[in-house]
Structures are given as structure tokens and as C-alpha cells.
Structure 1
Amino acid sequence: MTTTPHNAPEHCPGTNSEDAGKADACAGCPNQQVCASGEPAAPDPDLLVVKERLAAVKNKVLVLSGKGGVGKSTVSAMLGRALALDDSKEVGILDIDICGPSQPRVMGAAEEKVHSSGAGWSPVYVSDNLAVMSIGFLLNSADDAVIWRGPKKNGMIKQFLRDVDWGALDYLVVDTPPGTSDEHLSIVQYLSAAPPVAAVVVTTPQEVALLDVRKEITFCKKVNIPIIGIVENMTTFVCPKCKTETAIFPATTGGGTKLALDTGVPLLGRLPLDPRVAQACDEGTNLLTQEPDAAITQAYKDIAKKIMAFYEGQSQDTT
């Protein structure tokens, strides 16, 4: 009988297949070497270490999208800031986009460096209750390119989860790269050992983005990650002078609203295209406190409330 590891890629041939560890689908899989050797896969000893390290992290939020350029990093940062508006909550943002780390700049911490202590790496605090970790803090220059194959990227993600002293967090928001590949398999494998973990899927309204976002939703279902909901980003642009509303990315097939109906996944919110968001991310400032009455601020607050309600509901279901 052919068996398939729980964290295997979609077209895994199975551990007993002659193609085990040799098929194209095996490239980048953490089990590739073991499968190719014909030996039974041993449990990763670091799973227990990660579980113990994250025991004090109550809720993990994966920000996903199969498509690049839809604003995952922006949404991750803004959601982290929105959750941290509640002074009683401790929030962390983990950037696992190894080749394109954005969070140091977006969070206004581009010049910061990571420090080590007996408890592990210390994340960078951008406010009293909001911490950030990214490979960007480990680079000598923001212009340095990270040119790594899958296994090394996977090792870095494991190190972020195993060695960072997050302390007690209410929410850990994970900013992911586009796709459904190595980084996603790794983060799911390790966070699944320390539940609860769920996903927020980001899209823009046009069909070219929705094509890849549908794949991300399928990925979540295959690896048993609950989806909190869909966020449609850059829905419309309102001219600040004439107040005309324009769909920069026309929803020719129904956009995020139709995607939510088709997949049975809740629509968490529709975010306007606001130039102030891009400016705040470039400058590393907190738009939510600078513009507390703006429509974009209220939209993020509403999404954050829905995320908190989702985890509160899960907590009640387990009691």
C-alpha cells in the first residue's frame, strides 16, 4: 500500500512508490531525501520543540494568496496593527517571505537588528505590544539578495518558530510569499503542531488574481487549515478631489464577493485602494492611529474584529 506523508505536496507519489523522492513533485519536499533512500520517515524532532516554543502563542493567523502583488504584506502589517490597537493584546508579525522580506520597512524598523539572549532571538518591537521578526533584520543591507533553494528557506522558517523568543502572544500574524510551495508546506507542518492556526486569504477583484487565489483555498483544504475568510484588497479607488469612485481592477467575474459565495468561505471585508496606505508602508508609520476616522481604518478594524470573533468561537467550541 502506498502511503503519503501528511505534509506532502499535492502530487506526492507516496512513500512506497518507485518514484518516491525522485518525481518532480518531490522537489523541495522536506521528506524527499528520506523517501528516496527507501527508509521510513522519522518524525521531525523539532516539531516538539516548536510546539513547546509556541505554547504561549494563543492564535496563529496565516495571511495567504496564490497571487503576488495583491497586498499580502500590507494586509499582514495592517492587521497586526489593527489587532494591537487593543492594548490588552500582545501581537507578533512573522515574515516568512524569505526572498522578499517587506515587514522591516513596512513596520518602520528597517534599521533594526535582531539580538540574541539565553532565551533565543528577540523579535523587534515596534510598539509596546507589537513585535516583528523577518530575515530582513539579518541582512547586512536591504539590497542584499537571498538566493536560497527550498531546504535552506525551510530551515530558516523552522528557526524563526523554534528559536525566536515570542513570549506570550494573543495573535501571531504570518506574512507568506505567493504560491503553495516550500514555505507554505513548512509553515503549515510546524504550526499544525501548535494549534489553533487558520488562514486569511487575500485577493484583488480581477480574474487573473482570483485564478491563483482559488488554488490557495484548495491548498488550505488539502492541508486541513481552516479559512477565517477572504479579504478583497484594492476594491475601488475614490478620487480625493472629485470623489469619483473607480474600479482600478474591474471584477469581471464577480471578484471576492463571488469567490466567497462559490467556495463557501466568508468575505471578511473589501478594502479600498487608498494612497495613504502605500505612503504609510513606505514611511513605516501607523495609518490606523494617524487617520482614525478614515474609511480604510474602519475597514481594517472590522476585519480584525471578525478575526478575533473567529478565534473566540473556536475557543468556546473546545471548552
Structure 2
Amino acid sequence: MTLYPKLILDALATVRYPGSGKNIVEAEMVDDDMRIDGMKVSFSLIFDKPTDSFVKSVVKAAETAILTYVSKEVEIAGNINVRFKQTARPEVGKLLPQVKNVIGISSGKGGVGKSTVSANLAVALAKMGYKVGLLDADIFGPSMPKMFRVEDARPCAEEIDGRDLIIPIEKYGVKLLSIGFFVNPDQATLWRGGMASNALKQLIADADWGDLDYFLIDLPPGTSDIHLTIVQTLALTGVIVVSTPQEVALADARKGINMFTNDKVNVPIIGLIENMAWFTPAELPENKYYIFGKDGAKQLAEEMNVPLLGQIPLVQSIREGGDDGSPVALNDNSLTGQAFVAVAHNVVNYVEERNNEQPPTQIVEIKAH
């Protein structure tokens, strides 16, 4: 059997887009980039927005239509690319002109508490009186809706200056957006790299962030297309790297630092945060148990000549705060709350001294009593 474009288009014409009732060919949702190589077919489907709830069902219906009306031997799985219409938005270099500082929060591996640090740092900065925005850019594992207890929130869009802009959710003085607001929390987000990057760009460029002193971006663990998208889309003030003290995490943290500081990326490292630095049980607040090793991130910071912004202990209240949607930084009386405030002060010191073209100096430390 010989495949040709009309066969594929005729099959796709049997698929209707639920939002309009038109078939996807008539609705001009099938791009003209179709490629046929023997029995292999690839093409793109164009949707208006990444938040379109019909994306997955339409892609699946398109695959089924081709296998049903053309041939079951057609190889198509994974070859349907999803694209989104570009709305009129500012040029990349002019994005977020009302945001003073853009800070990425990264980790070399998952499970080191990067999102917990991001949430608490945002809250701590807001408590200090700064205007703060937080973007959950961990597309495949969004956790901010849970950490801020806004899982049921559904951001709406408003027309502002002729553009439809997403209005961030506000909680604890922080403006928040996450892909978690737009997907089923019980299902995995099975998006290809281009689709994830486009969704992220929309959350940045097509949202009404307004005036912000600090725009924090909770990046996915490791290194990926998302990191490159952020670097190419925004002028980052710098990046904070989060790690636990153990050797496995430190090895990945070292790679993360190298990624941002290499000549092609060249993003400043604001500093390193050692999370889960030690375990302190609530009933024995004076005790420290170095479960994951002692001072590993501190030593890495010295080795790589970057500031150590703080050491956060492993305390049950941090986990409880994350699960309950009440970040521990809200509690000024707790040791961990004070630790995050100290980290926030160190970040502010770095940014202000960098903006004044001076090297960062004073580092605030919080010690157990």
C-alpha cells in the first residue's frame, strides 16, 4: 500500500473538534508539515491554547482515525506533534518588563526539596514586603497547587490591552501559576518537549503578572528542554541550586551548576541551598542527626566558589506544611521558618549588591538554639 497526503487528510476529516463541532481539517487544525516515509506518517495538530482540555482526546482520535480508515499498518504513535497558535505577545527580550528580578530555582535531581524551598522562599519574600510571583515550571510534576492549598483553583483569562491574559492565583501574598491548574492531577502529563515548552511560554508571556520585585521559577529537576526554554525566553537574574548533603545529590548539583555557568548559557549562580542538612526531632530540638551526610553542600559551595545561602534542617513541620498547603515560612517562631527568612535575606542581599555591581558579601546564618 502506498500512502499519500489525501488518504491521511480524508481520515482526519472524520475527527471532529468538540469545541466547535467542525472536523479538524475543516477547522484548519492540521498543519501543512505532513511527512510520509513508507508507512510512517508524522504531522502537527494546531490548537489555540495549551490549556485546551480537548488536546489529548483529539490527538488520540486522530491516531485512531488513521489506523481505522487508512491502514492498521500505519506507524503513527508518537509522531503527532502538538502546536499552539501564537498570540500577539512582546518580543522575547521585552517579556515581563514590569518584573525587576527573575530567579530560577533548580536541582540536579528530584527528591531534594526544590519545590518546598521555592514555595517557602516565595512566602518569605512576600512577608518581607516584596511583590512576588511564583511559576511552577515543573511541567511533568507540578506541586505548587498542593503546597499552597489551591488545587481546585482554575485561573481565568481577562482581556487586558487587547490581549487575553491569564490571571494568576494569589495566596499568602504570592501570585502563582502552575500547569497543575489546567491538567487532571490524577493523570500523568504525557507531553512531548515542544508541547511542554509552548505551555510554559504561555504561562510566562500570556499571564498578567503585573509589577513584581521577584519572579521565582520552580524548574524541573535535572537538565531538559524546559531549562533551555527559560534561558532563551527570559533574562534571568540568576539561579539558586538546591541539594541535600549526600554525595549522589551533590554530583548532580555540580552538573546543574556547570550547566548554567557554561559559556553557552552563562547564567549567574546566586547560591546553593543545602536542604535536609540534618534531622531534628520536635521533642529534642537541640539534637542534630546528619542522616544524609554533614555539610556536603557547604563544601560544594566552597569548591565551586558560590555562596551557601542557607542550610535547612529536616523537620516534620516542613513536610506537614507542604502537605497541608501552609508553608512553614509563615511561622516566624519556628526554627525552619527563620531559616527560610534568612535565605530570603541572603537572596535579597545578593540581588541588590549585584544590581549595584558589587560582589555579594554578608550571609545571614540561622543556628539551632
Structure with greater helix share of residues:
1
Task: Determine helix, strand or coil for the equivalent of 1:216.
Answer: helix
Indicate the residue corresponding to 1:314 in structure 2: 354
Alpha-carbon RMSD = 1.9
Report the CA distance between 1:157 and its aligned residue: 1.3
Give yes or no for the alignment of 1:209 onto 2:249: yes
Name stretches of at least 5 consecutive residues in structure 2 with no aligned partner. 1-85, 359-369
Task: Determine helix, strand or coil for the equivalent of 2:146.
Answer: helix
Indicate the residue corresponding to 2:133 in structure 1: 92
Task: Answer whether contact 2:135 2:216 (CA < 8 A) is retained.
Answer: yes
Give yes or no for the alignment of 1:176 onto 2:219: yes
Report the CA distance between 1:118 and its aligned residue: 0.8
TM score, norm. by length of structure 1 = 0.80
Report the CA distance between 1:49 and its aligned residue: 3.0
In structure 2, distance between residues paired with 1:46 and 1:304: 35
Q: Whose RCO is larger (CA < 8 A, sep 6+)?
A: 1
1:59 to 77, 85, 101: 101
User: Given the superposition, is the C-alpha separation of residues 114 and 47 from structure 1 closer, same or farther in structure 2, using an over 3 Å criterion?
Assistant: closer
What CA deviation, in whole Å up to 9, does each residue of 1:52-107 have, x standing for no partner?
A: 340001001100111110011000000000000023x2100001111100001101
Indicate the residue corresponding to 2:181 in structure 1: 137
Indicate the residue corresponding to 1:294 in structure 2: 334
Task: Answer whether contact 2:318 2:327 (CA < 8 A) is retained.
Answer: no
In structure 1, distance between residues paired with 2:89 and 2:248: 37
2:275 to 202, 227, 233: 233
Query: What is the identity, as a one-letter code, of the residue corresponding to 1:303?
Result: V
Name stretches of at least 5 consecutive residues in structure 1 with no aligned partner. 1-43
Of all paired residues, the percent bearing the same amino acid is 39
Indicate the residue corresponding to 1:282 in structure 2: 323
User: Given the superposition, is the C-alpha separation of residues 85 and 315 from structure 1 closer, same or farther in structure 2, using an over 3 Å criterion?
Assistant: same
Indicate the residue corresponding to 1:49 in structure 2: 91
Task: Answer whether contact 1:68 1:178 (CA < 8 A) is retained.
Answer: yes
2:171 to 126, 130, 149: 126
Report the CA distance between 1:271 and its aligned residue: 0.5
What CA deviation, in whole Å up to 9, does each residue of 1:151-181 have, x standing for no partner?
A: 1111111111110110010101100111111
Report the CA distance between 1:298 and its aligned residue: 1.1
Task: Determine helix, strand or coil for the equivalent of 1:54.
Answer: coil
Indicate the residue corresponding to 1:80 in structure 2: 122
Indicate the residue corresponding to 1:32 in structure 2: none
Give yes or no for the alignment of 1:271 onto 2:315: no
Report the CA distance between 1:213 and its aligned residue: 0.4
Task: Answer whether contact 1:49 1:162 (CA < 8 A) is retained.
Answer: no
In structure 1, distance between residues paired with 2:220 and 2:206: 21
What CA deviation, in whole Å up to 9, does each residue of 1:241-293 have, x standing for no partner?
A: 24432112124xx501110111001111100001101111111114223x312
What CA deviation, in whole Å up to 9, does each residue of 1:202-249 have, x standing for no partner?
A: 000000100100000000102111011000000111122244321121
Query: What is the identity, as a one-letter code, of the residue corresponding to 1:297?
Result: G
Task: Answer whether contact 1:205 1:235 (CA < 8 A) is retained.
Answer: yes
| Larger gyration radius, structure 1 or structure 2 | 2
In structure 1, distance between residues paired with 2:257 and 2:316: 29
In structure 1, distance between residues paired with 2:147 and 2:224: 24
Task: Answer whether contact 1:64 1:178 (CA < 8 A) is retained.
Answer: yes
Task: Determine helix, strand or coil for the equivalent of 1:101.
Answer: coil
Indicate the residue corresponding to 2:113 in structure 1: 71
Task: Answer whether contact 2:147 2:327 (CA < 8 A) is retained.
Answer: no
TM score, norm. by length of structure 2 = 0.69
Task: Determine helix, strand or coil for the equivalent of 1:233.
Answer: strand
Task: Answer whether contact 1:47 1:190 (CA < 8 A) is retained.
Answer: no
In structure 1, distance between residues paired with 2:132 and 2:174: 5
Most deviating of 265-274 and 50-59: 50-59
Query: What is the identity, as a one-letter code, of the residue corresponding to 1:181?
Result: S
